[in-house]
Structure 1
Amino acid sequence: MDMRIASTTAPLTQTQIARRVTAPQAETSPGFSTAFKDALQAVSAAQERASHLQQEVQLENPSVSIEEAMVAMQKAQIGFQAALHVRNRMVQAYTDIMNMQV
Structure 2
Amino acid sequence: MKVNGLQAEMQAMKLEASNASRPATGQQVSADFGAMLGDAIKGVNQLQSQSSELATRFDQGDRSVSLSDVMIARNKSSVAFEATVQVRNKMVEAYKELMNMPV
Q: TM (normalized to structure 1)?
A: 0.75
Deviations 1:21-48 (A, max 9, x none): 7xx76x8xx7211111100000000000
Based on CA coordinates, which of the two structures has the bigger radius of gyration?
A: 1
- Alpha-carbon RMSD across the aligned residues, in angstroms, is 2.4
Displacement of 1:51: 0.5
Map 1:53-68 to 2 at 5 A: 53-68=54-69
Map 1:8-87 to 2 at 5 A: 31-87=32-88
Displacement of 1:6: 1.8
Q: CA separation in 1, counterparts of 2:83 and 2:17?
A: 22
Q: CA separation in 2, counterparts of 1:73 and 1:49?
A: 9
Q: Where in structure 1 do 4 or more consecutive aligned residues deviate above 4 Å? A: none
Larger helix proportion, structure 1 or 2? 2
Q: TM (normalized to structure 2)?
A: 0.74
Query: Partner residue of 1:6?
Result: 21
**Paired-residue identity, %:** 33
Amino acid in structure 1 at the alignment position of 2:69 = E
- Equivalent residues, number: 86
